[in-house]
Structure 1
Amino acid sequence: MPTILLVEDNELNRDMLSRRLERKGYDVLIAEDGAKGLSAATDSKPDLILMDMSLPVLDGWEATRRLKAEPQTRAIPVIALTAHAMSSDREKAVAAGCDDYDTKPVELERLLAKIERLLQAGSP
């Protein structure tokens, strides 16, 4: 059962997305800000991280840069989640180390396809 770390500060978004992912068979860990997301990723080594980019304490851009700089978390795929749909935001996400990018509001089927592709790419 793959584990997904959802780093999202909006309680409504967090609750809705975590329940939908659990119904699809994923174990979901939750973090409310970038600093807690870093700790959870280091402690739990999830299979994939869904990272909101607009987070309190430590934003998603910096949290992702730090995750990708550490040997123990570098290989965990990160999908950026943002309400910004500009092409420059996709480039910024890739530059920060994100493996993919999706916009809010989340379209579940599109996001699930990205999650599956990244999980399969990482499995032996």
Structure 2
Amino acid sequence: MRRILVVDDNDINRKLAAAFLKRRGWHIAEAASGEKALEMLAAEPFDYVLLDIGMPGIDGCEVCRRIRKAGYAGLARVVAYTAHAMESEKQAIMEAGFDDIVIKPVTMEGLNAMFPD
């Protein structure tokens, strides 16, 4: 069973993404902050991380940099989850170490494209 960590400070956005991914039969864990996400990643393995960019405290780009620096074993993809769709913003996001970007509002089709079975 695939394990994914969904990180977003907005409860509705986080719950929606989690609901879509649960339909695939995956184990879903949720974090409402970058700090909590890093704690969870250090404590248990995940296959994927869906990570909001604009969060208070540690933002998604910094969380991704820390994930890459830590080199968590088994982590296949870190995908940005954001409403920031300008080309310059996308470039900065990808430079932070993300594998790809899903633009909000998220759809089932968008998530299926980002996270293979």
Q: Using structure 1 for the length normalisation, give the TM-score.
A: 0.87
**Which residue of 2 is the match for residue 122 of structure 1?**
none
Say if 2:46 is the partner of 1:46: yes
Residue 10 of structure 1: CA displacement?
Answer: 0.5
- Residue correspondence of structure 1 range 72-87 to structure 2 within 5 A: 72=72, 75-87=75-87
Deviations 1:64-96 (A, max 9, x none): 001101133594410001111111122111110
Say if 2:96 is the partner of 1:96: yes
Q: Which one is further off, 105-114 or 65-74? A: 65-74
- Residue correspondence of structure 1 range 1-124 to structure 2 within 5 A: 1-72=1-72, 75-116=75-116
Aligned residue for 1:30, secondary structure, equals: strand
Q: What residue ranges of structure 1 are gaps of 5+ in the alignment?
A: 120-124
- Judging by fraction of residues, say which structure has more helix: 1
Structure 1 vs Structure 2: percent identity of aligned residues? 36
Separation in 2, partners of 1:25, 1:111: 14
Aligned residue for 2:5, secondary structure, equals: strand
Contact 1:52 1:80 in 2 (8 A): yes
- Between Structure 1 and Structure 2, how many residues are aligned? 117
Contact 2:79 2:101 in 1 (8 A): yes
Q: Which one is further off, 71-80 or 91-100? A: 71-80
Aligned residue for 2:22, secondary structure, equals: helix
Q: Using structure 2 for the length normalisation, give the TM-score.
A: 0.92
Contact 2:47 2:74 in 1 (8 A): no
What do you get for the CA RMSD once the two structures are aligned?
A: 1.6
Structure with larger RCO (C-alpha < 8 A, sep 6+): 2
Separation in 2, partners of 1:5, 1:75: 11
